[in-house]
Chain A
Amino acid sequence: MLLPDRLFTVALIRRTIWLWIGARLMVGMFGLLAGIPIIPTRPGTVIPIILVVASLGGLEIHRRREFLFFANLGVAPAAVLLLGVVTASLLELMLVAANSVLR
């Protein structure tokens, strides 16, 4: 599967990282208010976070009208969305690892 040039790939990864931080902060704030763990790492929480982050990334690409730009370069929308899923998954994996070490 063809990926965009490194300039665009790095920017898409950076964008996903910010979205993931935002999503995790929201979950943390909700956890704080509800009196539940602020860094939940159960699959029931992790998978929806990954999906929400990837979806928001997709919406942002759509809002910036970048799908056409990438398509003209031969990059499929699925490849761009998958980049978001992989990035968010890696970040979740790192968080789970960090959480288990700190416990």
Chain B
Amino acid sequence: MNTELRADSIGKRYGATRVLTSASLVAHQGAITALVGRNGAGKSTLLKICAGWISADHGTITYRGRTYMRPRLHDLAREGLCFLPAEQPLLSPSFALGEQLQAIARQRHNSALEEIIERFRLGTLLGQAPSALSGGERRRASFAVAELIGPQCLLADEPMRDLAPLDAELISTSLRSLRAKGCAIVVTGHEMNSLFDLADEVVWVTAGTTHHLGGAAAACENWQFRREFLGTVAPTTWA
């Protein structure tokens, strides 16, 4: 598998709190990497650094063979990276959803707009501003944007958080579809069933560093991971 994105020796400190000391991450073409860890472990921080949305204190990001000391999201986006953050909507609140999707499709010369709108069940929401949408609708709209962009690498922070089962299934289908097109995907979250079902690789963020655990089945067999992260809900179905 070709490596699309690689983060090496990433360190990040917020004031006196050291969130990451030496974290690494690799995203392969046509594979989904699940970045898991306890709340506050630094998953979102690592993802934002990889996306070039915030800068690391030390470490490097290599994207599509080019190494960056301080990557910027707009530079990486021009090379095919897309970042979907957890805590803020991707779309602008100033325009109707339909207008924005049309504009993105026009800019990206993507003719699949109608199909994407139908697949994400956004047809009745096109006239609304993103700020008027519910959390699930907004997440669907964000993934519709991601599919319109057609990324080479997608970094999605908690894409399935607080979603209804049907919406979570739509997002899972979208992730599978992007993977099938060769997109390198990194997702974070706490929805172990959905994430492990999707993941080709599992990376555990703990104590400021990362542990590459292999596939979902191998991760479940890791006693330390089971003891310190999965706890009593340790699933057996993937093992």
A64 close to B103 (CB less than 8 A)? no
Asked, given contacts A72-B82, A72-B83, whether A66 binds B107 with beta carbons under 8 Å apart, the answer is: no
B90 close to A8 (CB less than 8 A)? no
Asked, given contacts A65-B93, A66-B92, whether A5 binds B107 with beta carbons under 8 Å apart, the answer is: yes
Q: Does A27 contact B (CB under 8 A)?
A: no
Interface size of A in residues (CB-CB distance below 8 Å):
20
B78 close to A69 (CB less than 8 A)? no
Q: Does A73 contact B (CB under 8 A)?
A: yes
Most central of B53, B77, B95, B100 by chain A CB within 10 Å: B77
Contacts of B88 in A (CB 8 A): 65, 68
A11 close to B94 (CB less than 8 A)? yes
A86 to B94, CA, bound (A): 22
Contacts of B184 in A (CB 8 A): none
Contacts of B168 in A (CB 8 A): none
Interface size of B in residues (CB-CB distance below 8 Å):
27
A72 close to B149 (CB less than 8 A)? yes
Chain B 99-131 interface mask (CB, 8 Å, partner A; 1/0): 110111011000000000000000000000000
A59 to B94, CA, bound (A): 14
Contacts of A70 in B (CB 8 A): 74
A74 close to B78 (CB less than 8 A)? yes
Within 8 A of B (CB), among A73-90: 73-77
B74 close to A7 (CB less than 8 A)? no
- The smallest C-beta distance from B93 to any residue of chain A, in angstroms, reads 5
Within 8 A of A (CB), among B50-107: 53, 72-75, 77-78, 82-83, 85, 88-95, 99-100, 102-104, 106-107
Which of A7, A8, A74 is in CB contact (< 8 Å) with B77? A74
Q: Does A2 contact B (CB under 8 A)?
A: yes
A73 to B77, CA, bound (A): 6
Task: List the 6 shortest-distance A-B pairs measured between CB atoms, nearest first.
Answer: A74-B78, A71-B73, A5-B103, A7-B103, A74-B77, A71-B74
> Residues of B with Cβ closer than 8 Å to A?
53, 72-75, 77-78, 82-83, 85, 88-95, 99-100, 102-104, 106-107, 145, 149
Given contacts A7-B100, A71-B74, A73-B149, 13 further A-B contacts (CB under 8 A): A2-B74, A5-B104, A6-B103, A64-B94, A65-B93, A66-B93, A68-B73, A68-B88, A68-B90, A69-B92, A72-B90, A74-B78, A77-B74
